[in-house]
Amino acid sequence: MSSPHHPRPHTRNTKKLTGNLTTLRTGLALGSWETAARYVWNDREQFGAKVGSFQGMQYQLAQAYTEIAAARALVYNAARLKEAGKDFVREAAMAKLYGSQVAGRVSGQAVEWMGGMGFVREGIAEKMFRDSKIGAIYEGTSNIQLTTIAKGLMKEYAR
């Protein structure tokens, strides 16, 4: 909703790089990952072994960490362009979109990796999973970010 004090989120936040929520999403993903990684490597056991010792779990942890690093790189690239005084709207939208997707995906996986402990209402994994959902809504939905990205691409590549 728009109001004089709160302009439409996609116009307000694409005009500036939100070092706030965009980086918070990446941090939320990393915090979820770290919480779950410590738990599966040190505490959670199945079949007499730490869950983190299973190759399938290691692959999931490695994939999620790679996605977090990629989301962080998108944020840094948008910030670099902004600091250089260059157009960064498309890159900021890409960082918002991907950061939101990664935060949702990784925080959801963290809940699953932690098993029953991931669903404990007092636990941090469950809270981070809920918090990840607001990132996809507050600064503009994923479709708004995709529209911003597509408009930037059309501007650059369409004749």
C-alpha torsion sign, points 104, 110, 113, 115? negative
Residues near 44 by Cβ (< 8 Å), separated by ≥ 6?
Answer: 50, 51, 52, 113, 114, 115, 117
Spatial CA neighbour of 147 closest among 32, 8, 14: 14
Length of the chain: 159
91 labelled catalytic = no
Phi, psi of 49 (to 5 degrees): -135, 155
Euclidean distance between CA atoms 133 and 135, whole angstroms: 5
DSSP at 50: E
Q: Choose, from 83, 126, 139, 156, the residue flagged as catalytic.
A: 139
Active-site residue list: 139
